[in-house]
Amino acid sequence: MNKFEFFVVLPLFALLFSCSARIDGVVREGGAADITIKTSLEPRTQALIRSIKGFLGEALDEPALDGAAISRSMASAPGVKAVSLKNTGPSSLEGTVSLSNVGDFLVSNNAKHQFISYSGGQPPGNSSIIITLERDSAPELIARLSPEVEEYLSALMAPVVLGEDSTRQEYVSLLTAVYGRSLADEIAAARLRVFIEFPRNIAKIQGGDARGKLAEFNIPLLDLMVLEDPLRYEVFW
């Protein structure tokens, strides 16, 4: 099992937040990996989450993103060794997630819902990771990741959680009708930036850009929230 199967976790963590975020990773031989997450909610989304929490009777002084609660639920997810997410503000958090073996992360008993394809070996250019996220498998993956994340995305009526076949434009129109244009624009503009360094120069990449050993991915959150089309990421090194 190659250590760089760690790449698979990155699109899933984007689903945590309707904002711009950054993820950096350190990967190790044998499949272990440490990821650093830093993110915060945009103002309109923060106000919505607080409003929902208030309606449910939760204390308004509680953080809109509860780092401790997400840490507790993610700690039991398949393949996760340790989680430490802390609030740096009422709507922001940062921290690390350690994976004992990235090949086990969110592994499913359903063969149809496996989303990693990996091959490794020599010579250079013969190792690869292919990741595909589809509507049929995404709800199960999110549910195993964290109930808090699932509830959060349900509040935003994300088709990826609700199992609905919506286009990007249909989802933006729904958000606009229910929550207003400002919040819809926040989600439509949100992106996840991911930086990964590989042990050898990257020979081929799909879904991102490569400079030598460094792969960079700039992923629109809207694509992940809707999955109108399957998302496919490939790295060959």
pLDDT top residue among 173 and 90:
173
pLDDT tens for each residue of 125-147? 677 777 778 888 777 777 777 77
Contact predicate 77/107, CB 8 Å: no
Q: What are the sequence ranges of the domains in the chain? A: 3-236
Report whether pLDDT(208) > 80.
yes
In whole angstroms, give the CA distance from residue 121 to residue 127. 5
Report whether pLDDT(4) > 50.
no
In whole angstroms, give the CA distance from residue 22 to residue 182. 23
Q: What is the model's pLDDT at position 2? A: 40
Report whether pLDDT(170) > 90.
yes
SS (H, E, C) 58-112: CCCCCCCCCHHHHHHHHCCCCCEEEEEEEEEECCEEEEEEEECCHHHCCCCCCHH
Tokens 């996760």 found at: 80
In whole angstroms, give the CA distance from residue 61 to residue 49. 12
What letter would DSSP give residue 7?
Answer: G
**Which residues lie across from 196 on neighbouring strands?**
215
Distance of CA 92 to the CA centre of its chain: 16
Q: What is the model's pLDDT at position 119? A: 63
pLDDT top residue among 178 and 25:
178
pLDDT tens for each residue of 9-63? 444 444 444 556 788 876 665 556 788 888 777 766 767 666 665 555 565 566 6
pLDDT tens for each residue of 66-117? 788 888 888 888 878 999 988 887 777 888 888 777 667 766 666 565 566 6
Q: What is the model's pLDDT at position 167? A: 94
Q: What is the model's pLDDT at position 18? A: 52
pLDDT top residue among 189 and 149:
189
76-80, 143-147, 176-180, 218-222, range with the lowest pLDDT: 143-147
Q: What is the model's pLDDT at position 9? A: 45
Nearest to residue 182, comparing CAs of 17, 5, 47, 6? 47
pTM of the shown model: 0.71
* Class of residue 71 by CB neighbours under 10 A (exposed 0-12, middle 13-18, buried 19+): buried
Q: What is the model's pLDDT at position 182? A: 83
Q: What is the model's pLDDT at position 142? A: 77
